[in-house]
Amino acid sequence: MTSTISATMDTSGLKTVIPDLVAYGRRTMREQCVTSMGMILQDAQTWTPFVDIGRMDQELDAPAENQRLAALGYSQGDAIVLARAAPGSNFNRMTGGRWAITLPKTASMRNFGRAYGSQNGAQMFLDAVIRPIMERMRASRHSSGHFLQAGYKEARDYCVRSEFFKNRYRKQSGKANDNPLNTLDSSDFGGTEIVIAGDHCAVVSTNDVGEGGSTALLDAEHRRALIAYGSGPLQDAVDKEAAACVTELRRRIGESWPLFNEMLK
């Protein structure tokens, strides 16, 4: 399944400065393009926001939006579990049934109420049935706190591992900011391809969060989230690298690098 949602970044600054930077430096066009892309992806990954564990817990533990459930002591996380157990719920419809669950026929608030009374039954149903599922759901959510960032990892690592990546500091210390609880295989989320044509070089990187998921609806939602929260940091990373290239070019010209002197003869 492929989402048709896309976003375009302004790379005009890089396109303008890189040829001049190569002319006044030691890196080849291929080395400069791969190095710049690796640094852009590292910064984009670092700056793309993610939902931290504290916020996840705060949202799950908040009183249920349904006033009746809130009055019974149910949290929003508990309410989500109930929605997952209801085949026709809005939650299951919006997620394509990906997280739908089936409770035992006897495990219902109504049956617990009949056996133990309305108030006691609701509490016992919560403690015995709903809360254990909610805690497992909480642990699963903790494992995917850096979901949007994960899409940059493989593409970034490809650049950094490349023989054409020429930034010693980033190569040694530019580690991905991984969530140690994240069990997602980020290798499915993107990659980088280096295309050479004569004196020209194109480094094409993809972040495939929101592509090839279990449902087209979830793919679209994940892609929208990536664009909404990732486009700004990605553009900032592109602009930062372009500015750094301009600063370096001015330094080289100011210091009259040997190649520059040779060109003036």
pLDDT digits (tens, 9 = 90+) for 104-132: 877 777 788 777 777 788 888 889 899 99
* Rounded to 5°, angle at Cα 83 from 110 and 89: 105
- Rounded-to-integer distance, Cα 40 and Cα 28, Å: 18
Q: Tell me what pLDDT residue 183 has.
A: 64
pLDDT digits (tens, 9 = 90+) for 17-45: 999 999 888 889 999 999 999 999 999 98
- Which amino acid is present at 214? S
Q: Tell me what pLDDT residue 1 has.
A: 44
Higher local confidence (pLDDT), 155 or 25: 155
Q: Tell me what pLDDT residue 170 has.
A: 67
pLDDT digits (tens, 9 = 90+) for 57-108: 999 999 999 998 999 899 999 999 999 999 889 988 888 888 899 988 777 7
- Rounded-to-integer distance, Cα 136 and Cα 127, Å: 13
Higher local confidence (pLDDT), 58 or 171: 58
Higher local confidence (pLDDT), 233 or 120: 233
Higher local confidence (pLDDT), 47 or 217: 47
Domain ranges of the chain: 12-50+146-264, 53-142
- Rounded-to-integer distance, Cα 148 and Cα 222, Å: 8
Nearest alpha-carbon partner for 225 in 1, 24, 3: 3
**Mean pLDDT over each residue of the chain, to the nearest integer:** 84
